[in-house]
Structure 1
Protein backbone atom coordinates (compact mmCIF):
# COMPACT_ATOMS: atom_id res chain seq x y z
CA UNK A 1 0.00 0.00 0.00
CA UNK A 2 1.27 3.46 -0.93
CA UNK A 3 -0.09 6.30 1.16
CA UNK A 4 0.86 9.93 0.50
CA UNK A 5 0.43 12.76 3.00
CA UNK A 6 0.16 16.32 1.71
CA UNK A 7 -0.44 19.63 3.42
CA UNK A 8 1.14 22.90 4.39
CA UNK A 9 4.38 23.01 6.35
CA UNK A 10 3.66 22.30 10.00
CA UNK A 11 0.52 20.28 9.26
CA UNK A 12 2.04 17.15 10.83
CA UNK A 13 2.89 15.12 7.72
CA UNK A 14 6.11 13.69 9.15
CA UNK A 15 4.79 13.12 12.66
CA UNK A 16 1.62 11.41 11.47
CA UNK A 17 3.48 9.55 8.71
CA UNK A 18 5.80 7.94 11.27
CA UNK A 19 2.84 6.91 13.45
CA UNK A 20 1.04 5.41 10.44
CA UNK A 21 4.15 3.53 9.30
CA UNK A 22 4.57 2.03 12.77
CA UNK A 23 0.92 0.98 13.04
CA UNK A 24 0.68 -0.30 9.46
CA UNK A 25 4.11 -1.94 9.66
CA UNK A 26 5.59 -0.33 6.56
CA UNK A 27 8.34 2.13 5.66
CA UNK A 28 8.07 5.84 6.32
CA UNK A 29 9.67 8.12 3.74
CA UNK A 30 10.02 11.89 3.79
CA UNK A 31 10.44 13.20 0.24
CA UNK A 32 12.80 15.95 1.42
CA UNK A 33 15.03 13.33 3.09
CA UNK A 34 14.99 11.24 -0.11
CA UNK A 35 16.16 14.27 -2.09
CA UNK A 36 18.85 15.21 0.42
CA UNK A 37 20.19 11.64 0.60
CA UNK A 38 20.25 11.18 -3.17
CA UNK A 39 21.71 14.60 -3.96
CA UNK A 40 24.10 14.78 -1.00
CA UNK A 41 23.05 18.23 0.17
CA UNK A 42 20.32 19.98 2.16
CA UNK A 43 17.12 21.37 0.62
CA UNK A 44 18.03 24.91 1.70
CA UNK A 45 21.47 24.54 0.08
CA UNK A 46 19.86 23.22 -3.11
CA UNK A 47 17.58 26.26 -3.25
CA UNK A 48 20.55 28.58 -2.65
CA UNK A 49 22.98 27.05 -5.12
CA UNK A 50 20.79 25.52 -7.84
CA UNK A 51 17.49 27.38 -7.49
CA UNK A 52 13.87 26.35 -7.17
CA UNK A 53 13.47 25.09 -10.75
CA UNK A 54 16.31 22.58 -10.26
CA UNK A 55 14.84 21.55 -6.90
CA UNK A 56 11.33 21.07 -8.32
CA UNK A 57 12.68 18.97 -11.22
CA UNK A 58 14.57 16.69 -8.83
CA UNK A 59 11.56 16.53 -6.49
CA UNK A 60 9.37 15.46 -9.43
CA UNK A 61 11.90 12.84 -10.52
CA UNK A 62 12.27 11.21 -7.09
CA UNK A 63 8.54 11.39 -6.36
CA UNK A 64 7.72 9.50 -9.56
CA UNK A 65 10.53 7.03 -8.95
CA UNK A 66 9.07 6.24 -5.51
CA UNK A 67 5.46 6.10 -6.68
CA UNK A 68 6.22 3.63 -9.46
CA UNK A 69 8.37 1.26 -7.40
CA UNK A 70 6.88 -1.95 -6.13
CA UNK A 71 6.85 -1.42 -2.39
CA UNK A 72 4.67 -0.26 0.45
CA UNK A 73 5.29 3.03 2.22
CA UNK A 74 3.89 6.11 3.86
CA UNK A 75 5.26 9.19 2.09
CA UNK A 76 5.37 12.69 3.53
CA UNK A 77 5.77 15.34 0.84
CA UNK A 78 6.91 18.94 0.98
CA UNK A 79 4.18 21.55 1.30
CA UNK A 80 4.64 22.67 -2.30
CA UNK A 81 5.12 19.24 -3.87
CA UNK A 82 1.52 18.77 -5.09
CA UNK A 83 1.58 22.14 -6.88
CA UNK A 84 4.32 21.50 -9.44
CA UNK A 85 5.11 19.36 -12.48
CA UNK A 86 1.89 17.35 -12.43
CA UNK A 87 2.93 15.83 -9.10
CA UNK A 88 -0.62 15.76 -7.72
CA UNK A 89 -1.81 13.80 -10.76
CA UNK A 90 1.05 11.32 -10.29
CA UNK A 91 0.18 10.87 -6.62
CA UNK A 92 -3.47 10.27 -7.41
CA UNK A 93 -2.58 7.84 -10.20
CA UNK A 94 0.03 5.71 -8.41
CA UNK A 95 -0.72 5.95 -4.69
CA UNK A 96 -3.47 3.94 -3.05
CA UNK A 97 -4.56 7.03 -1.12
CA UNK A 98 -3.60 10.70 -0.82
CA UNK A 99 -4.52 12.45 2.43
CA UNK A 100 -4.59 16.22 2.82
CA UNK A 101 -3.80 17.12 6.43
CA UNK A 102 -5.77 20.34 6.72
CA UNK A 103 -4.92 22.81 9.46
CA UNK A 104 -6.40 26.31 9.87
CA UNK A 105 -4.22 29.41 9.55
CA UNK A 106 -4.30 30.05 13.33
CA UNK A 107 -3.43 26.39 13.92
CA UNK A 108 -0.48 26.58 11.53
CA UNK A 109 0.79 29.78 13.13
CA UNK A 110 0.62 28.20 16.57
CA UNK A 111 2.65 25.22 15.31
CA UNK A 112 5.15 27.16 13.19
CA UNK A 113 6.17 30.09 15.41
CA UNK A 114 8.13 27.89 17.86
CA UNK A 115 10.06 26.28 15.00
CA UNK A 116 10.52 29.31 12.72
CA UNK A 117 14.33 29.16 12.90
CA UNK A 118 14.25 25.68 11.32
CA UNK A 119 11.87 26.71 8.53
CA UNK A 120 13.81 28.64 5.84
CA UNK A 121 10.64 29.76 4.07
CA UNK A 122 9.32 31.68 7.09
CA UNK A 123 12.46 32.27 9.16
CA UNK A 124 12.73 35.94 8.21
CA UNK A 125 9.01 36.77 8.29
CA UNK A 126 7.76 38.77 11.26
CA UNK A 127 5.25 36.88 13.41
CA UNK A 128 2.55 39.48 12.73
CA UNK A 129 3.00 38.94 8.97
CA UNK A 130 2.69 35.15 9.12
CA UNK A 131 -1.14 34.97 8.83
CA UNK A 132 -1.09 36.87 5.53
CA UNK A 133 1.90 34.88 4.21
CA UNK A 134 0.35 31.50 5.09
CA UNK A 135 -3.08 32.59 3.87
CA UNK A 136 -1.65 33.57 0.48
CA UNK A 137 0.16 30.24 0.17
CA UNK A 138 -2.92 28.25 1.15
CA UNK A 139 -5.01 30.18 -1.36
CA UNK A 140 -2.50 29.35 -4.12
CA UNK A 141 -2.17 25.69 -3.11
CA UNK A 142 -5.76 24.90 -2.15
CA UNK A 143 -6.83 23.73 -5.62
CA UNK A 144 -4.09 21.10 -5.51
CA UNK A 145 -4.59 20.08 -1.88
CA UNK A 146 -8.33 19.65 -2.33
CA UNK A 147 -7.80 17.02 -5.06
CA UNK A 148 -6.65 14.55 -2.38
CA UNK A 149 -8.69 11.38 -1.94
CA UNK A 150 -9.31 12.33 1.71
CA UNK A 151 -9.25 15.63 3.58
CA UNK A 152 -8.49 15.23 7.27
CA UNK A 153 -9.26 18.19 9.54
CA UNK A 154 -6.37 18.32 12.00
CA UNK A 155 -7.10 21.27 14.29
CA UNK A 156 -7.34 20.37 17.98
CA UNK A 157 -6.59 16.68 17.39
CA UNK A 158 -3.61 14.71 18.65
CA UNK A 159 -1.29 13.08 16.10
CA UNK A 160 -2.48 9.66 17.30
CA UNK A 161 -6.13 10.64 16.79
CA UNK A 162 -5.34 11.78 13.24
CA UNK A 163 -3.40 8.58 12.49
CA UNK A 164 -6.30 6.50 13.81
CA UNK A 165 -8.72 8.52 11.67
CA UNK A 166 -6.61 7.86 8.57
CA UNK A 167 -6.43 4.14 9.33
CA UNK A 168 -10.22 4.16 9.68
CA UNK A 169 -10.55 5.83 6.27
CA UNK A 170 -8.32 3.16 4.73
CA UNK A 171 -10.93 0.59 5.70
Structure 2
Protein backbone atom coordinates (compact mmCIF):
# COMPACT_ATOMS: atom_id res chain seq x y z
CA UNK A 1 0.00 0.00 0.00
CA UNK A 2 1.57 3.23 -1.11
CA UNK A 3 -1.29 5.61 -0.48
CA UNK A 4 -2.95 6.99 2.61
CA UNK A 5 -6.50 5.75 2.95
CA UNK A 6 -8.96 8.44 4.01
CA UNK A 7 -12.18 7.01 5.43
CA UNK A 8 -15.14 9.29 4.75
CA UNK A 9 -18.74 8.99 5.91
CA UNK A 10 -21.42 10.07 8.31
CA UNK A 11 -21.00 9.71 12.07
CA UNK A 12 -21.76 6.15 13.06
CA UNK A 13 -20.73 4.75 9.66
CA UNK A 14 -17.81 2.85 11.22
CA UNK A 15 -14.87 4.99 10.15
CA UNK A 16 -12.96 4.64 13.43
CA UNK A 17 -13.63 0.91 13.89
CA UNK A 18 -12.79 0.09 10.28
CA UNK A 19 -9.76 2.38 10.29
CA UNK A 20 -8.21 0.94 13.45
CA UNK A 21 -8.57 -2.66 12.27
CA UNK A 22 -7.50 -1.87 8.69
CA UNK A 23 -4.33 -0.17 9.95
CA UNK A 24 -3.54 -3.17 12.13
CA UNK A 25 -3.91 -5.52 9.13
CA UNK A 26 -1.75 -3.24 6.96
CA UNK A 27 0.77 -2.81 9.79
CA UNK A 28 0.66 0.97 9.59
CA UNK A 29 -0.42 3.86 11.80
CA UNK A 30 -4.05 4.80 12.28
CA UNK A 31 -5.07 8.39 12.83
CA UNK A 32 -8.48 9.72 13.82
CA UNK A 33 -8.59 13.35 12.67
CA UNK A 34 -10.78 14.47 15.58
CA UNK A 35 -8.35 12.93 18.11
CA UNK A 36 -5.42 14.54 16.25
CA UNK A 37 -7.14 17.94 16.45
CA UNK A 38 -7.85 17.45 20.16
CA UNK A 39 -4.17 16.66 20.81
CA UNK A 40 -2.95 19.64 18.77
CA UNK A 41 -5.46 22.10 20.26
CA UNK A 42 -5.35 20.79 23.84
CA UNK A 43 -9.13 20.48 24.15
CA UNK A 44 -11.95 18.28 22.95
CA UNK A 45 -13.87 18.92 19.75
CA UNK A 46 -16.91 19.68 21.91
CA UNK A 47 -14.90 22.32 23.85
CA UNK A 48 -13.51 23.79 20.64
CA UNK A 49 -17.03 24.23 19.25
CA UNK A 50 -18.26 25.73 22.52
CA UNK A 51 -15.30 28.02 23.33
CA UNK A 52 -13.96 29.00 19.90
CA UNK A 53 -16.88 28.30 17.57
CA UNK A 54 -17.45 26.19 14.50
CA UNK A 55 -15.60 28.52 12.12
CA UNK A 56 -12.43 28.25 14.21
CA UNK A 57 -12.84 24.47 14.39
CA UNK A 58 -13.34 24.09 10.62
CA UNK A 59 -10.24 26.20 9.91
CA UNK A 60 -8.18 24.13 12.35
CA UNK A 61 -9.60 20.94 10.83
CA UNK A 62 -8.52 22.04 7.33
CA UNK A 63 -5.05 23.01 8.55
CA UNK A 64 -4.47 19.67 10.29
CA UNK A 65 -5.91 17.73 7.34
CA UNK A 66 -3.34 19.38 5.07
CA UNK A 67 -0.61 18.53 7.58
CA UNK A 68 -1.65 14.87 7.40
CA UNK A 69 -1.82 14.89 3.59
CA UNK A 70 1.71 16.36 3.48
CA UNK A 71 3.22 13.75 5.81
CA UNK A 72 5.20 11.01 4.08
CA UNK A 73 4.25 8.17 6.42
CA UNK A 74 1.60 5.81 5.18
CA UNK A 75 -1.51 5.93 7.34
CA UNK A 76 -5.15 5.08 7.55
CA UNK A 77 -7.09 8.21 8.47
CA UNK A 78 -10.63 8.46 9.80
CA UNK A 79 -12.13 11.87 9.01
CA UNK A 80 -14.84 13.61 10.98
CA UNK A 81 -18.26 13.34 9.37
CA UNK A 82 -18.19 17.00 8.34
CA UNK A 83 -14.55 17.23 7.24
CA UNK A 84 -15.14 16.56 3.50
CA UNK A 85 -17.93 19.14 3.39
CA UNK A 86 -16.01 22.27 4.40
CA UNK A 87 -13.47 24.42 2.63
CA UNK A 88 -11.85 22.50 -0.17
CA UNK A 89 -11.06 19.51 2.05
CA UNK A 90 -12.48 16.87 -0.28
CA UNK A 91 -10.81 18.48 -3.27
CA UNK A 92 -7.44 18.42 -1.50
CA UNK A 93 -7.82 14.73 -0.66
CA UNK A 94 -8.83 13.88 -4.22
CA UNK A 95 -5.97 15.84 -5.75
CA UNK A 96 -3.31 14.44 -3.39
CA UNK A 97 -1.15 11.96 -5.25
CA UNK A 98 -0.61 9.94 -2.07
CA UNK A 99 -4.26 9.52 -1.07
CA UNK A 100 -7.24 7.29 -1.72
CA UNK A 101 -10.69 8.15 -0.36
CA UNK A 102 -13.17 5.50 0.74
CA UNK A 103 -16.79 6.36 1.54
CA UNK A 104 -18.30 4.06 4.16
CA UNK A 105 -21.95 4.35 3.19
CA UNK A 106 -24.60 3.29 5.70
CA UNK A 107 -28.37 3.69 5.36
CA UNK A 108 -30.44 6.01 7.53
CA UNK A 109 -31.99 3.06 9.46
CA UNK A 110 -28.52 1.61 10.16
CA UNK A 111 -27.13 4.97 11.25
CA UNK A 112 -30.17 5.62 13.45
CA UNK A 113 -29.81 2.24 15.15
CA UNK A 114 -26.10 2.80 15.81
CA UNK A 115 -26.38 6.42 16.91
CA UNK A 116 -29.53 6.51 19.02
CA UNK A 117 -28.05 4.82 22.09
CA UNK A 118 -24.79 6.76 21.95
CA UNK A 119 -26.24 10.15 21.02
CA UNK A 120 -25.43 11.63 24.44
CA UNK A 121 -21.73 11.42 23.48
CA UNK A 122 -22.29 13.21 20.18
CA UNK A 123 -22.81 16.98 20.51
CA UNK A 124 -24.66 17.33 17.18
CA UNK A 125 -27.40 14.87 18.15
CA UNK A 126 -27.39 14.80 21.98
CA UNK A 127 -30.56 16.93 22.11
CA UNK A 128 -32.62 14.58 19.92
CA UNK A 129 -34.81 12.55 22.27
CA UNK A 130 -36.65 10.28 19.86
CA UNK A 131 -35.68 7.98 17.01
CA UNK A 132 -38.07 9.88 14.73
CA UNK A 133 -36.22 13.16 15.33
CA UNK A 134 -32.89 11.39 14.78
CA UNK A 135 -34.09 9.87 11.48
CA UNK A 136 -35.17 13.33 10.30
CA UNK A 137 -31.86 14.90 11.38
CA UNK A 138 -29.73 12.20 9.70
CA UNK A 139 -31.81 12.37 6.53
CA UNK A 140 -31.38 16.13 6.24
CA UNK A 141 -27.66 15.94 6.98
CA UNK A 142 -27.04 13.10 4.52
CA UNK A 143 -28.90 15.04 1.84
CA UNK A 144 -26.48 17.95 2.40
CA UNK A 145 -23.32 15.86 2.79
CA UNK A 146 -23.81 13.07 0.25
CA UNK A 147 -22.57 15.15 -2.70
CA UNK A 148 -19.22 15.46 -0.89
CA UNK A 149 -19.02 11.88 0.35
CA UNK A 150 -19.95 10.57 -3.10
CA UNK A 151 -16.85 12.16 -4.63
CA UNK A 152 -14.77 9.47 -2.90
CA UNK A 153 -12.86 7.17 -5.23
CA UNK A 154 -14.37 4.08 -3.61
CA UNK A 155 -17.78 3.55 -1.99
CA UNK A 156 -18.34 0.60 0.32
CA UNK A 157 -21.91 -0.15 1.38
CA UNK A 158 -21.74 -1.20 5.02
CA UNK A 159 -25.30 -2.27 5.89
CA UNK A 160 -25.43 -5.82 7.19
CA UNK A 161 -21.69 -6.38 6.70
CA UNK A 162 -19.17 -7.37 9.33
CA UNK A 163 -16.05 -5.32 10.00
CA UNK A 164 -14.00 -8.03 8.26
CA UNK A 165 -16.25 -7.96 5.18
CA UNK A 166 -15.94 -4.18 4.91
CA UNK A 167 -12.15 -4.34 5.27
CA UNK A 168 -11.90 -7.15 2.70
CA UNK A 169 -13.84 -5.00 0.25
CA UNK A 170 -11.51 -2.03 0.82
CA UNK A 171 -8.43 -4.21 0.43
CA UNK A 172 -9.76 -5.79 -2.78
CA UNK A 173 -10.02 -2.33 -4.32
CA UNK A 174 -6.52 -1.44 -3.13
CA UNK A 175 -4.89 -4.30 -5.06
Instruction: Give the TM interval when normalised to the shorter protein.
Output: over 0.9
Shift of 1:96: 2.7
Shift of 1:159: 1.1
Structure 2 stretches of 5 or more lacking a match?
none
Alignment pair present for 1:69 and 2:74: no
Q: Secondary structure of the residue that 2:123 maps to in structure 1?
A: coil
Q: Measure the CA separation in 1 of the matches of 2:86 and 2:122.
A: 20
Q: Measure the CA separation in 1 of the matches of 2:10 and 2:153.
A: 16
What residue is the counterpart of 1:169 in the other structure? 173
What residue is the counterpart of 1:97 in the other structure? 100
Shift of 1:35: 0.3
Question: Which runs of at least 4 in structure 1 moved beyond 2 Å after TM superposition?
Answer: none
Q: Secondary structure of the residue that 1:123 maps to in structure 2?
A: coil
What residue is the counterpart of 1:85 in the other structure? 87
Alignment of 1:15-164 (within 5 A): 15-94=17-96, 95-127=98-130, 128-164=132-168
Q: Measure the CA separation in 1 of the matches of 2:139 and 2:118.
A: 18
If the length of structure 1 is used for normalisation, what is the TM-score? 0.98
CA contact (8 A) 2:69 2:99 kept: no
Shift of 1:126: 2.2
Q: Secondary structure of the residue that 2:117 maps to in structure 1?
A: helix
Q: Measure the CA separation in 1 of the matches of 2:28 and 2:95.
A: 20
If the length of structure 2 is used for normalisation, what is the TM-score? 0.96
Q: Measure the CA separation in 1 of the matches of 2:112 and 2:142.
A: 13
